[in-house]
Amino acid sequence: MYFHRNRAAVAATLGCLLLSGCATDTPKSAHQNKEEYLVRSFAPNQLSKSLLETATQPTEKPLPFNKLTVKQTTTFKYATGMTMEWSSDIVYKNAGNGLIEKVVTDYSNGIESYTSFALTYRGIYPLIWQVIYPNNVKMPVIGRAKSISQIDTSLDKPSLNYMYQASWNNPRARDGDRSMSCTSAGTYSASKLNAKMQGDAREYTCSVTNDNGIADSQQSYVYLDAYGVALIKGMKKTNMHFTWHFDEFKVE
4: confidence class by pLDDT, cuts 50, 70, 90: very low
Cα atoms in the Cβ-side hemisphere of radius 13 Å centred on 176: 13
| Among the listed residues 95, 52, 132, 127, the one whose alpha carbon sits nearest the alpha carbon of residue 228 | 95
Domain segments of the chain as ranges: 2-251
Contacts of 184 (CB under 8 A, 6+ apart): 157, 158, 159, 202, 203, 204
Contact indicator for 124, 110 with CB cutoff of 8 Å = no
Dump pLDDT digits (tens) for 94-133: 999 999 999 999 999 889 999 999 999 999 999 999 999 9
Average pLDDT over residues 54-79: 88
pTM above 0.85, yes or no: yes
Beta bridge partners of 193: none
Distance of alpha carbon 43 from alpha carbon 119, whole angstroms: 7
- Strand residues in 17-142 grouped as ranges (E): 67-78, 83-96, 99-108, 111-121, 125-132
The lowest-confidence range among 53-62, 112-121, 196-205 is 53-62
Dump pLDDT digits (tens) for 75-95: 888 888 888 899 999 999 999
